A = this chain, B = another copy of it.
Amino acid sequence: MSYVRNAWYVASWTQDLPATGPFAVTIMDERIVIYRGESGRLIALEDRCVHRLAPLSLGRCEGEQLRCLYHGLLFNPDGTVAEIPGQDQIPAQARIKSYPVVDRHSWVWIWMGDPAKADPAFIPPAVGPDDPDWLLGHGHLQYDAEARLINDNLLDFSHLSYVHPDSFGATESWARNRPKVTPIERGIRVTRWMTDQPGMNGRESEESKVKLRDRWTTYDFFVPGVMLMTGGTFPVGTAKALNYEAPDLAKAEAGVTFTSQAISPVSSRTARYFFSWGPRADQGTEEIRDMLMGIARKAFDEDRVIIEAQQKVIDQTPHVKIMPTTSDKAVVLYNRLVEKMAREEQALRSESHAV
């Protein structure tokens, strides 16, 4: 599996950064230290001193700089060395990589590819817990599985019927319904109407869950692994009346929630999974948000159990191929997009080397 390098990867929830001091993350096997200079700006560097390779994440912030707490070398935000204690000259090669880093939508985004191409316009239009229109909770999980398997899981909601019948209260309809899948810029869009549906856990009150409705769900899934989803329920007949086109969510009668989910590869066999969920501010309360987050934690742990088990089987039978089904349309399209972008990047790199 290829990864796209020229993309913004989620490194952390902004809220989960420590109040002071450096913070270590690993993305695609690269150890990165993130810290906030006294000016408030975020800085991301290779997490490795040039001297004896000690991790800078065990170091100390000094103004906009970061000092290695092994033998005291001091680093500038651009990765150059400002000071070697007891030594007058700084060699030219004394330099580590500096990563483009942006704090947006409550996520810390790191650009893993060519810094010259790091355009913040490529950051997906997420909504963070700080957005006043929504009441969002947030969390994250560590996975002992390849990031791609988590992407695949989120691109095929037929698993809801079998993995989440209790947590989300998903019926068999999820497995039989085939959504509309369309390409968008740097991603794909998955929309579906499910008609004559009972309510789902958390999104409708217990009393009203028996009442049937038409359910609309839509999500955009962006490279390198960011899902933004919303939806709501409408009176039975709405889908048909709209000829199964997108409804106006402002007119939904219930169940309008938003969730953002992002997957970052840590190593080839581990990943970090970030998620938020909550109701629209005008429809919900903090109690509803917390109830939804309780459901989400249970459901996302169900995903983790099956995906980590899947990874173990894959590792033990590396020669066995998967067999896609009709439910994999979005999975196939998304992975094809990733392969194409990765190939193009590779071609560009070869070209620039040839020059």
Contacts and interface: CB of A to CB of B under 8 A. Distances in A.
B68 A313 contact: no
B87 A55 contact: no
25 contacts: A29-B316, A47-B313, A48-B313, A48-B317, A50-B323, A52-B310, A53-B310, A53-B314, A53-B317, A53-B320, A54-B310, A55-B309, A58-B305, A70-B162, A70-B306, A71-B159, A71-B325, A71-B327, A72-B158, A73-B325, A84-B325, A85-B175, A86-B158, A86-B177, A86-B325
Contact of A86 (B47, B48, B178, B310): B178
A-B CB proximity, top 4 nearest: A85-B175, A54-B310, A86-B176, A69-B162
A121 interface: no
A324 B51 CA distance: 6
A306 B156 contact: no
Interface in A297-346: 305-306, 309-310, 312-314, 316-317, 320, 322-327
A94 to B, nearest CB: 6
A47 B310 CA distance: 10
A162 B87 contact: no
B87 A163 contact: no
A53 B308 CA distance: 11
Contact of A70 (B87, B310, B316, B317): B310
A208 interface: no
A93 interface: yes
Nearest to A93: B323
Interface in A130-148: none
**Contact residues on A (Cβ < 8 Å of other chain), bracket:** 35 or more
Given A91-B323, A320-B53, A323-B50, A71 B158 contact: yes
A191 B67 CA distance: 27
Contacts of A156: 71
A290 interface: no
A86 B327 contact: yes
Interface in A48-91: 48, 50-55, 58, 67-73, 84-87, 91
Contacts of A201: none
A175 B325 contact: no
Nearest to A317: B48
B327 A162 contact: no
B53 A161 contact: no
B325 A68 contact: no
A172 interface: yes
Given A54-B310, A70-B162, 6 more contacts: A29-B316, A55-B313, A71-B175, A72-B161, A73-B325, A85-B161
A172 B69 CA distance: 12
A287 to B, nearest CB: 31
Given A159-B70, A313-B31, A176 B85 contact: yes
A152 interface: yes
B70 A323 contact: no
Contacts of A29: 316
Contacts of A310: 52-55, 70
A31 B327 contact: no
Contacts of A322: 51-53
A106 to B, nearest CB: 29
